[in-house]
A = this chain, B = another copy of it.
Amino acid sequence: MESGLTLSSLSRARAASPARKPLSLVAFAKQLGLSPSTVSKAINGRADVNAKTRARVLEAAAAQQFTPDPAGRRLRRQASDTIGFVLSAPQAHFAHPFFLDMLTGIDEALEGTPYQTIIASARSPEREMECFVRLVEQHRVDAVLFARTRRNDPRIAYLLARKVPFVAFGRSESTKAYPCIDIDHTVVGNAGCARFIALGHRRIAQITGPSDLMFTHHQRLGYRQALAHAGIAFDPALQVEDVLTEEGGARAAGVLLGQPNPPTAIVCGHDLMALGVMRMIAQRGLRPGTDVGVIGGDNHPIGALIDPPLTSFTAQTREAGRRMVQMLMASLAGTPAKQLQEVWVPELIVRSSDGPRRPALASEYRIATAKPKRERSIA
């Protein structure tokens, strides 16, 4: 059956579904006693149309809910009015609100513009490029948004070479400037580690995702900065990476805790990994947050609900989605890429997993008892 879904069967199928024919621009124009060109110009805000005429057109359009058919518009304009948002390997992030949050922000910012978002998901990291190429070469999108940049990101190289407008969530080591917005993850590594130092820890480990991811790379740099600043020698055995999942975090923690001189605190780059870390700590007979401190990285909502509640960092994913769209519009309008680069500084959200255990409200039990009072979020 799947193979029977040929292009031809699809096209013939369409004929079966009827639908009332909508108002075309020419018909609408005739109604108003104007030419199609004038109506079009009125709607599109061109200068060469009398203010009075324009008002009349817009009023009638609003009254009759008239909107120019996007199909005609697109053909003539040679633009698809469509922005592609690429999900990378969604199966790996199944329980993470990251992409959906970002998508929501994007959709919000696009409200009222003629643009729409199409999503495309890359089956695997290897097939990511494929996804971009298809979107671009088949003229399905005017611009692209995506996240999870890598240090050396072929997608960025491709889009730049192909001159496709885009905004990335995340920096890279590209020598050419491109519009992007990023969270400063050196802060996540640095401030997380520094907090443990301030709490008296000396043997502090870091668990992150794959280091070819730019944000992971930054986290690792930040961690080393904090150590250096405190005069603590960097021990490579304490900095491990694994995949960005709960299991990855657990596995990495197992490696760390199995060492002869295990760490007393672990900073994580990702909250799901932190969850796995906490699970592994418990499995080893230790108490997360008491025997071994844990700090996460991206404020997964589940972090507030577990026990001990996870100390983490603000993420602002939805706001980032919104901002990416604004930057894209600016980019399309000609603003140079150098002016379209923002780095947001995340803030620590202090809960309980990062230090000696505080008396919990219902300390006998295993599920977080209430939202911690000490939580501090950014405005």
Interface residues of A (CB under 8 A from B): 1-2, 5-11, 13-14, 16-19, 22, 43-46, 65, 67, 69-72, 74-75, 77-80, 82, 87, 90-91, 93-97, 99-101, 103-104, 107-108, 112-121, 123, 137-140, 142, 162-165, 246, 275, 278-279, 281-288, 300-302, 305-308, 326, 329, 332-334, 361-362, 364-370
Are A7 and B44 in contact (CB-based, < 8 A)? Answer: yes
Are A283 and B43 in contact (CB-based, < 8 A)? Answer: no
Find A139's partner among B69, B78, B302 (CB 8 Å cutoff).
B69
Are B282 and A365 in contact (CB-based, < 8 A)? Answer: yes
Report if A17-B275 is in contact (Cβ < 8 Å); known contacts: A7-B114, A94-B97, A282-B366.
Answer: no
Complex: how many Å from CA A104 to CA B165?
Answer: 25
Find A46's partner among B8, B116, B117 (CB 8 Å cutoff).
B8
Are A163 and B306 in contact (CB-based, < 8 A)? Answer: no
Complex: how many Å from CA A114 to CA B140?
Answer: 10
Give the residue name and chain of the B residue nearest to A276 (CB): B305
Query: Which B residues are in CB contact (< 8 Å) with A99?
Result: 100
Are A139 and B287 in contact (CB-based, < 8 A)? Answer: no
Complex: how many Å from CA A76 to CA B202?
Answer: 70
Are A164 and B19 in contact (CB-based, < 8 A)? Answer: yes
Query: Which B residues are in CB contact (< 8 Å) with A333?
Result: 9-10, 13, 16
8 extra A-B contacts, CB within 8 A, seeds A70-B138, A72-B75, A302-B302: A13-B332, A71-B139, A82-B118, A90-B104, A99-B100, A279-B367, A281-B365, A282-B366
Give the residue name and chain of the B residue nearest to A19 (CB): B163
Are A10 and B369 in contact (CB-based, < 8 A)? Answer: no
Complex: how many Å from CA A142 to CA B17?
Answer: 9
Give the residue name and chain of the B residue nearest to A141 (CB): B116
Give the residue name and chain of the B residue nearest to A123 (CB): B108
Find A163's partner among B17, B94, B279 (CB 8 Å cutoff).
B17
Find A112's partner among B5, B301, B361 (CB 8 Å cutoff).
B5
Report if A282-B369 is in contact (Cβ < 8 Å); known contacts: A13-B334, A17-B163, A332-B14.
Answer: yes
Are A329 and B100 in contact (CB-based, < 8 A)? Answer: no
Are A139 and B77 in contact (CB-based, < 8 A)? Answer: no
Are A100 and B104 in contact (CB-based, < 8 A)? Answer: no
Query: Which B residues are in CB contact (< 8 Å) with A300?
Result: 95
Are A365 and B77 in contact (CB-based, < 8 A)? Answer: no
Are B369 and A283 in contact (CB-based, < 8 A)? Answer: yes
Give the residue name and chain of the B residue nearest to A65 (CB): B137
Max chain B C-beta neighbours (<10 A), residue from A7, A71, A77, A94: A71
Query: Which B residues are in CB contact (< 8 Å) with A278?
Result: 367
Query: Which B residues are in CB contact (< 8 Å) with A286?
Result: 365
Are B104 and A91 in contact (CB-based, < 8 A)? Answer: yes
Query: Which B residues are in CB contact (< 8 Å) with A11?
Result: 44-45, 77
Are B282 and A7 in contact (CB-based, < 8 A)? Answer: no
Report if A366-B366 is in contact (Cβ < 8 Å); known contacts: A70-B139, A90-B104.
Answer: yes
Give the residue name and chain of the B residue nearest to A21 (CB): B78
Report if A119-B103 is in contact (Cβ < 8 Å); known contacts: A7-B114, A138-B67, A367-B282.
Answer: yes
Query: Which B residues are in CB contact (< 8 Å) with A119?
Result: 103, 107, 117-119
What are 5 residue pairs bridging A and B, where the CB atoms are less than 8 Å apart in the complex?
Answer: A2-B326, A9-B333, A11-B45, A275-B367, A282-B362
Give the residue name and chain of the B residue nearest to A46 (CB): B8
Are A287 and B117 in contact (CB-based, < 8 A)? Answer: no
